[in-house]
Structure 1
Amino acid sequence: MKNLITKLLYLAGFLLLLISCDSFVETDLPKSQLNNEAVFEDYATATAALTDIYSKIRDNGMLNGNGIPVQLGSYTDETDSFQSPSSPSEAFYQNRLLPSSPTIQDWWNVAYNQIYAANSLIEGVQNSKNLSEQNKKQLQGEALFIRALIHFYLVNLFGDIPYVIETDYRNNSKIPRTSTQNIYNNLIADLQNASSMLPETYSPAQRVRPNKFTARALLARVYLYNNQFTEAANEASAVLNQTGLFSLEPDLDQVFLINSRETIWQLQSANAGENTVEGSIFIFVSGPPVLALTENFVNSFSAADLRKSNWINSVTDDSTIWYHAFKYKERSNTPASVEYSVQFRLAEQYLIRAEARAHLGNLGGAREDLNKIRERSGLGQTTAQSQTEILNAILQERRWELFSEPGHRFFDLKRFGQLDNILSAVKPGWNSEDRIFPIPQNELNANPNLLPQNPGY
């Protein structure tokens, strides 16, 4: 009886918190609650544990707006840095990452903490006696998606890494690295399971919790990166065919707004009136800035490209012009939030299918998908004809379409075998071993099964 009263009191407080919050991600479960079995006996508290993970992804680590979107832009050829040499971000710009880097350590630790939380939720929901089967499926499907998402970014940054699927610290503290190919096999299995469990609809409507097609959008990307082109095209088609849910926004200024039909999944702001971290970092109103788009990148756009006029803005002090990403238009709070951090959107799915079709020899279909993006941007149809020409055109189109979004430029140059060719010409500190990051040194010290260190470090 005492346990029941305690649980009811907790739920009453939790529901009061929900009512007082503008955003579900404000419902921050204490860490001590995460492993409490009672949490997973009630859908409201289990949902709070799940959405707490989304808030952690938004606020900390790789996918925070000051993480991959900013750091990998300066690591490659999207942005110039004007920060002091002592700034942690300057190591990315100079391509001088070390195993002792605080940022590298933070990304690794936060990522595995988020994976642990997802695994804890999966185990708790599986063992729940009160949750309905439908609720179990949704919660587990979202947790599997999170687990796959974080591992996806880890493997593309660090190479072979542990793929963690349990919460037993005794096993996890000595777990070895998994080969990249096996990691991709695990990603595919997790995302297939997530897709089978998640609903087709969004709840809530603002697309801040992944649905079936979010899982399939990530699965399309995973298949593409794994050179499974038939599967990549099929998964992208499954998303693109959902015309009742998704469509390209004809007005580029509408693409990154909260209610954009192009959004597949976005991270909700913590409080009413807050917008994105990306906007607060990328947008500046005077110079010299902290970060600015490179002139080479800005000048690569055609004058007719609407992305140049709508998604790039300039600031001048009468002697120097600097450019910044302007996909997000708000750099501070507004009376009501107007932009959330977009993680997946429809344009990428067209580019995934175009690339997959090109590799499969369906050159007409590849051009058709590529032209969807070009025509929305005010450009004419591509003149590329051969497979090589089309693939090169897709790489270029991805650069123009997906700049300042999490990791695309770095991962694309790596996939296309162009890292050394492109970056050695514009990055004095670049060498071929920079294609993967160092494993944090204190992790190697704590778990020798992670050895050897990645080459070059």
Structure 2
Amino acid sequence: MALVITLTSACKKALDLDQKGVYNTDNYFRNEADAVNAITGIYSLLEGEDYISHAETTFDIASDDYWRSGDHSEDEAIENLTYDASNAQVRYSWKWKYETVNRSTNCIINIAKITNITDAIKKRSMGEAYFFRAFGYWRLMVIYGEVPIITNEDYLTQNFNVPKSSVEEVRKQIEADLKQAVDMLPESYTAADRGRVSKGTALGLLTKLYMYWEKFPEAIAAGQQVITNPNYALAANYQDNFTRANENSKEILFAVQAVQNVIQNDYTIYYIPRAWGGYGFSQPLQGLADEFEANDPRKAATLLSVGDQMDLGDGNGLTTFTADLSETGYSFRKYAVFNTVGDGGGPDHTYAVPLMRSADIYLLVAEAQIRTQGAGAGDALINQVRRRASAALPPVSGAGMTQLIHERRVELAGEGERHQDLMRWDKAQIVDIAAIYNLPVSKAPLDRNKTINFIRPKHYYYPIPQEEIDKSKGVLVQNPNF
């Protein structure tokens, strides 16, 4: 795999550019700077609009929390569970996750050989690469189920056309990489390296892996290392996680980072109303709004309702959220982050979008405790999350899965967890996802309904992109029922 680096000047034509260097894996990984830059190249993938931004959020819109809105037919098909193997979002997702896997594997193989590097940076960089390879496989497994595992040897021989591995094998691959990452990554960083993945990030993803695997003792053990570590403490206020200053929050274990005037994050514009500079996709439904308790401030921090006011940074003071800004009467406030007047106003493309928070891990450990020890075993952790939201929220006592499911829905609303949560609970026969998705959901103010026909086991996973099957010439086999 070659890496071509050029320096450009705006006053030159493209054909006049002087190529400054041609690098490949044989001559690129020479020193510490090369290692750090290669790892940065993995992080940069998170900025891709067809990776984390639009494509990833689409995979939650089938849930009872969202109306897709927007004008993308591929999104409508995913929302209604009528997609097929040619769906554009299904196709984009595969490509970018394997790009993450490949860049990470490249770093794992080659950074290990660098001698002109400090031990600390070498260890950290290897840990980052192991984490990101695990993350790539994690998202592939959650979305597609059985997927090909590209080994180091496959990478070295450029053998990328390999058959699918079982879900169990993919989980073992993710587990192995995350354990490596846990051993290598630091617990925290100084301001200069803020935003890098940490030991807590790897432990958090390992907790999630074990929960999907239904390895509850292992999930508790991994999760406890997050929730007992002050480096990953819950933010003082729930809304602190969804502000311009949130990159300083210890609670955010993993986020999409961006830098003003250097690289922008397009994630939030999909949630911001079109009239306010966004695209207005993924609008909350009334059912989600109704799920919040009357005195839960997370509702106001999560949702924009008709009559709410926001400062758009345009110099016009407060702007009122009106019914015509959303087809459902709601928008996600937690992603409505705007620049100040001095920055030019408009959507803030440097906002650090949380991809994993400690609160998620608190609730996963609470769930594992309930499912292994019975109702009430997770009360302490659920109440920590509730108390952080508001001292006025009554504590739970003897909480079972009903209370846990409620808490995850309101705490993590709009953060891409609901659809996958419901599917894993359906597999465990804790909920009936088909019944939940077939209940009419009022789509105010247009008086429409959203009903979805969930078919087991077909809809537990998405199809392998047809173009990938075609390119494999029979090596890849389509998922059942597609």
Query: Do they superpose with TM above 0.5?
Result: yes
**Match of residue 140, structure 1, among 112, 126, 142:** 126
1:40–1:131 contact (8 Å) kept in structure 2: no
List aligned pairs for 1:15-414, cutoff 5 A. 33=23, 35-62=24-51, 64-69=52-57, 71-84=58-71, 87-166=73-152, 168=155, 172-204=159-191, 207-243=194-230, 245-256=231-242, 257-272=246-261, 276-284=265-273, 289-314=280-305, 315-317=321-323, 322-331=329-338, 335=343, 339-361=351-373, 363-378=375-390, 380-383=393-396, 385=398, 390-405=400-415, 407-414=416-423
CA, structure 1 residues 358+352, in 2 after alignment: closer, same or farther (shift >3 Å)?
A: same
Q: CA deviation at 1:420?
A: 2.1
For structure 1, the residue ranges without an aligned partner over 5 or more in a row are: 1-9, 14-29
1:351–1:394 contact (8 Å) kept in structure 2: yes
SS in 2 for 1:230: helix
Q: For the residues of structure 1 that align with 2:355 and 2:297, how far apart are their CA atoms?
A: 22
Q: CA deviation at 1:337?
A: 7.0
Q: CA deviation at 1:140?
A: 1.1
Q: For the residues of structure 1 that align with 2:404 and 2:21, how far apart are their CA atoms?
A: 44
* CA deviations over 1:307-344 (Å, ceiling 9, x no partner): 11121102324797610111133156873976212122
2:47 alignment partner AA: R
1:430 alignment partner AA: F
Q: CA deviation at 1:47?
A: 0.7
CA, structure 1 residues 437+365, in 2 after alignment: closer, same or farther (shift >3 Å)?
A: same
**Match of residue 463, structure 2, among 423, 427, 438:** 438
Q: For the residues of structure 1 that align with 2:96 and 2:131, how far apart are their CA atoms?
A: 17
Q: For the residues of structure 2 that align with 1:373 and 1:173, how far apart are their CA atoms?
A: 44
1:373 alignment partner AA: V
Q: For the residues of structure 2 that align with 1:276 and 1:301, how far apart are their CA atoms?
A: 29
**Match of residue 422, structure 1, among 409, 431, 436:** 436
SS in 1 for 2:295: coil
Q: CA deviation at 1:265?
A: 2.2
1:306 alignment partner AA: P
2:298–2:411 contact (8 Å) kept in structure 1: yes
Q: CA deviation at 1:246?
A: 2.6
2:107–2:129 contact (8 Å) kept in structure 1: yes
2:291–2:406 contact (8 Å) kept in structure 1: no
Q: For the residues of structure 1 that align with 2:402 and 2:382, how far apart are their CA atoms?
A: 11
CA, structure 1 residues 161+306, in 2 after alignment: closer, same or farther (shift >3 Å)?
A: same
Higher normalized helix content (fraction of residues):
1
2:423 alignment partner AA: K
Q: For the residues of structure 1 that align with 2:36 and 2:158, how far apart are their CA atoms?
A: 27
Q: CA deviation at 1:151?
A: 0.5
1:155–1:161 contact (8 Å) kept in structure 2: yes
Number of aligned positions between the proteins: 423
2:295–2:393 contact (8 Å) kept in structure 1: no
Q: CA deviation at 1:99?
A: 0.8
Q: For the residues of structure 2 that align with 1:384 and 1:438, how far apart are their CA atoms?
A: 42
SS in 2 for 1:74: coil
* CA deviations over 1:332-365 (Å, ceiling 9, x no partner): 6873976212122111111011011112206544
* CA deviations over 1:132-179 (Å, ceiling 9, x no partner): 433322111100100001111110110111122325375643311111
* CA deviations over 1:46-97 (Å, ceiling 9, x no partner): 11111111111222444x222222x12322222113333x533222222221
For structure 2, the residue ranges without an aligned partner over 5 or more in a row are: 8-19, 306-320, 441-450
Q: For the residues of structure 1 that align with 2:397 and 2:436, how far apart are their CA atoms?
A: 21
CA, structure 1 residues 331+161, in 2 after alignment: closer, same or farther (shift >3 Å)?
A: farther
Q: For the residues of structure 1 that align with 2:21 and 2:255, how far apart are their CA atoms?
A: 24
Q: For the residues of structure 2 that align with 1:205 and 1:176, how far apart are their CA atoms?
A: 42
SS in 2 for 1:258: helix
Q: CA deviation at 1:424?
A: 2.9
1:217–1:239 contact (8 Å) kept in structure 2: yes
Relative to the length of structure 1, the TM-score reads 0.84
CA, structure 1 residues 132+252, in 2 after alignment: closer, same or farther (shift >3 Å)?
A: closer
Relative to the length of structure 2, the TM-score reads 0.80
1:57–1:114 contact (8 Å) kept in structure 2: no
* CA deviations over 1:188-245 (Å, ceiling 9, x no partner): 11111111111222255564111112111111111121111111111111111221x2
CA, structure 1 residues 391+32, in 2 after alignment: closer, same or farther (shift >3 Å)?
A: farther
Q: For the residues of structure 1 that align with 2:465 and 2:410, how far apart are their CA atoms?
A: 33
1:272–1:337 contact (8 Å) kept in structure 2: no
SS in 2 for 1:277: coil
CA, structure 1 residues 235+449, in 2 after alignment: closer, same or farther (shift >3 Å)?
A: farther
2:363 alignment partner AA: L
CA, structure 1 residues 321+357, in 2 after alignment: closer, same or farther (shift >3 Å)?
A: closer
Q: For the residues of structure 2 that align with 1:177 and 1:431, how far apart are their CA atoms?
A: 23
Q: For the residues of structure 1 that align with 2:376 and 2:21, how far apart are their CA atoms?
A: 53
